[in-house]
Amino acid sequence: MMDEPALAAEEDSIRSNLTKQEMFVRQFANRFLTYEGIGVLLLDSEFRIVEVSEMVCSLFGCKRTDIIDQSAEKWFDSLSLHPKPFGRSLLEGDTFRNRVMNWKLDKHNHKLMLDGEVLQDKGAIKGAFVLFRDVSHLLTLEEQIRRSDRLKTIGQIAAGTAHEIRNPLTAIKGFMQLLNKSLADRSMEKEQEFVGIVLSELERVNDLVSEFLLLSKPKEIRLVSMRVGLVLQEILPMIRNEALLHNVTVLYYPKPELAPILADKEQLKQVFLNLGKNAIEAMDGGGTLIIRDYHDPYETDKIAVEISDTGSGIDAEALEKVFDPFFTTKPQGTGLGLSVCQRIVHDLGGSIEVSSDEGGTRFIVKLPCASGTDD
Ligand SMILES: Nc1ncnc2c1ncn2[C@@H]1O[C@H](COP(=O)(O)OP(=O)(O)OP(=O)(O)O)[C@@H](O)[C@H]1O
Ligand SMILES: [Mg+2]
């Protein structure tokens, strides 16, 4: 091992022998190894790791010094990577572009895109390098666009159908009320009871159609500056009531210092109520519902509201469909709750995300801050 002054002297001698351009390329290479946007792995002709950048180390949760000089195969084994993202055939010229790889670290699912290229000297392959890009964010965006397209089509069909259902419904309701009155005049109590049931069932259909209409065309929204905490405080009694019936503990930590958001209060209430209701329904036999609101550390112009439960969780296949209209796993569910939430949040210029495992489910709603206003 060389001591520090010896190392510095060697660095100086290398520098003095380099041309300006070589120096520049060297600086670029050094910077590239600490750059967090793209990861790089350098391999020698024996498939051993020669150098690895900081991004790769933090992505895979390993220490640079532990993997340098190790064979790439061994490294894959230590990470339990099956199938391996690439093999020795890379050194035989089997290069690749945009190879997709899934990787999970600390409960975070990453989608990575890999490029593999060889390093040649006079036609002979001397080694290879692999570039890693984390495209998880891009794919979420793509998924959101796909979902909102699907919602739009369903919305167009829904708009027509819902009106067609509502008109006869109003007529049936009117006549039933008349019937009820004439039954009352004749003291036909048993029949009146039947009509009462028909009327309350009609009310249910009406509610469903209203929800359907909300999906199909955005109601006129009134954007007002408000504190999200106050909206949460207003619906908490309802959530606590429901939770009590299901043996669920509700935890909410108010954050009065948060910046105000721009939203429509009634619609926002509906979002949080739907999410709260789902969470409680997922905790059959009890659990904990946690509600938190905070400044989003990534999108600083947004306030995030997190609703997490210790319920049954959602499996990977269902997770892709939870926002689809009519997707439900409940015997009495309509499957419209989350699609309505998504529609509202989108209309408010926000976003909604979900993650889930055996320990429970977490929904995060992000809403734009009201800029330029203090209240
Ligand atoms: N917190 C959660 N934990 C587990 N599963 C959930 C959770 N939230 C939603 N789901 C799943 O997503 C599905 C769709 O939810 P959504 O709210 O859209 O409809 P629903 O709850 O089934 O019906 P509705 O809301 O009309 O009563 C649910 O049936 C359930 O399978
Ligand atoms: Mg629901």
260-299: per-residue pLDDT in tens? 999 988 889 889 989 999 999 999 889 999 999 999 888 8
Angle at 286 between CA 280 and CA 290, to 5 degrees: 55
Q: Output the CA 142–ligand 2 centroid distance in Å.
A: 24
Q: Output the CA 370–ligand 1 centroid distance in Å.
A: 30
pLDDT tens readout for residues 56-102:
999 999 999 999 999 999 999 999 887 889 999 999 999 999 998 98
Is 184 found in the same domain as 234? Answer: no
Percent of the chain with pLDDT over 90: 49
Q: Output the CA 99–ligand 2 centroid distance in Å.
A: 37
Q: What is the mean pLDDT of residues 139-147?
A: 70
Percent of the chain with pLDDT over 70: 91
- What pLDDT score was predicted for residue 152? 67
Is 269 found in the same domain as 210? Answer: no
* Residues 100/27, Cβ–Cβ less than 8 Å: no
Is 260 found in the same domain as 340? Answer: yes
With a 6 Å cutoff on the Cβ, whether 87 touches ligand 1 is: no
Select from 95, 116, 134 the last residue of a domain: 134
- What pLDDT score was predicted for residue 374? 41
- What pLDDT score was predicted for residue 373? 42
- What pLDDT score was predicted for residue 261? 95
Assess whether pLDDT exceeds 70 at residue 232.
yes
Ligand 1, residue 328: give the atom nearest the CA. Answer: 29
Residue 7 within any structural domain of the chain: no
**Closest ligand to Cα 363:** 1
Q: Output the CA 124–ligand 1 centroid distance in Å.
A: 58
With a 6 Å cutoff on the Cβ, whether 337 touches ligand 1 is: yes
Q: 160 or 308: whose pLDDT is higher?
A: 308
Q: Which of 110-119, 201-210, 344-353, 361-370 has the lowest mean pLDDT?
A: 201-210
Enclosing domain of residue 54: 35-134
Question: Which residue has a Cα nearest atom 20 of ligand 1?
Answer: 335
Q: 207 or 217: whose pLDDT is higher?
A: 207
Is 238 found in the same domain as 256? Answer: yes
* Structural domains in the chain (count): 3
Enter the DSSP assignment of 92.
Answer: G
**Closest ligand to Cα 335:** 1
d(CA 219, CA 343): 10
**Closest ligand to Cα 354:** 1
Q: Which of 109, 143, 142 is nearest to 357 (CA)?
A: 109
With a 6 Å cutoff on the Cβ, whether 312 touches ligand 1 is: yes
Q: Output the CA 274–ligand 2 centroid distance in Å.
A: 6
Strand partners, 305: 293, 365
Residue 359 within any structural domain of the chain: yes
| Residue 310 binned pLDDT confidence (cut-offs 50, 70, 90) | very high
Residue 121 within any structural domain of the chain: yes
Q: What is the dihedral of CA 355, 358, 359, 365, to 10 degrees?
A: 20
Q: Output the CA 199–ligand 1 centroid distance in Å.
A: 27
pLDDT tens readout for residues 185-216:
999 999 999 999 999 888 888 877 777 776 66
| Mean pLDDT (the chain, rounded) | 87
Q: What is the mean pLDDT of residues 355-359?
A: 92
Assess whether pLDDT exceeds 60 at residue 375.
no
Is 184 found in the same domain as 124? Answer: no
With a 6 Å cutoff on the Cβ, whether 336 touches ligand 1 is: yes
